[in-house]
Amino acid sequence: MTDTQPPTPDLDTIQAAIAATPGTWWNDGHEIHVGEPGILAASQWIGDTCNVELPDYGEANAAAIVTAHNALPALLARVRHLEARAASLEAERDGWAETSRNEERIWAARVAELEQQLAKYVGVEPTVRQTHDEWLRCSGLHCPNAERYAKAEERGWLSAGMGQWLCPDCRTTPAPARDGR
């Protein structure tokens, strides 16, 4: 079973049909008029919905037709407003989607950059890395790098027990004990 939708009405055609009989529509029983409501002399007869088989002779049908016709200009304006709003929201959504794609490209580039930086260290021999780490944590008092070590320790960059390491410069010369002995 297929779900069929009624065709989308052409708003310009409806607007033209409304313009064909300008003015306010009103009903007098089952008769429909356009012009000044309640004044037959200032109105034009449009038609009627007389049906002798109905208890009200079609007066409810005439009232429905008049109400629908008089509401059409406001309904058309509302539909046009909503269509414009939908187009605006679609454009905004498309803008956000493009922004999202740009952000994705930026982050992908940053991840690639960081992966390249990481790749520099992946192939490094452990002994070179270990020597570098030891140099940063040197505890030799006579070491030319001691000032750098002291600043790192003062700022809390080194954890407890790491001060026992010597840099490559200090490995060759025995370092005096820290308590001066």
Q: Which domain holds residue 155?
A: 126-171
Domain for residue 57, yes or no? yes
Both 23 and 44 in one domain: the answer is yes
Both 45 and 103 in one domain: the answer is yes
173: left (phi over 0), alpha (psi -120 to 50) or beta: beta
The answer to whether the beta carbons of residues 142 and 173 sit under 8 Å apart is yes
Opening angle at CA 77, ends 59 and 31, nearest 5: 15
Residue 149 has a CB neighbour count (10 Å cut-off) of: 23
The total number of residues shown for the chain amounts to: 181
**Which residue, 32, 25, 21, is CA-closest to 59?**
32
pLDDT digits (tens, 9 = 90+) for 81-108: 999 999 999 999 998 988 888 888 898 8
How much is the pLDDT for 75?
Answer: 93
Domain for residue 145, yes or no? yes
Domain for residue 87, yes or no? yes
The H or E element containing residue 91 is helix 59-122
Both 148 and 116 in one domain: the answer is no
Both 161 and 108 in one domain: the answer is no
Is residue 77 predicted with pLDDT exceeding 90? yes
Rounded distance, CA 136 to CA 147, Å?
11
Q: Return mean pLDDT, the chain.
A: 77
Residues whose CB falls within 8 Å of the CB of residue 70, separated by 6 or more in sequence, listed in order: 24, 25
The number of domains in the chain is 2
Rounded mean pLDDT, 12-39? 90
Give the end-to-end CA distance of the chain in Å, rounded to a whole number: 98
Both 105 and 133 in one domain: the answer is no
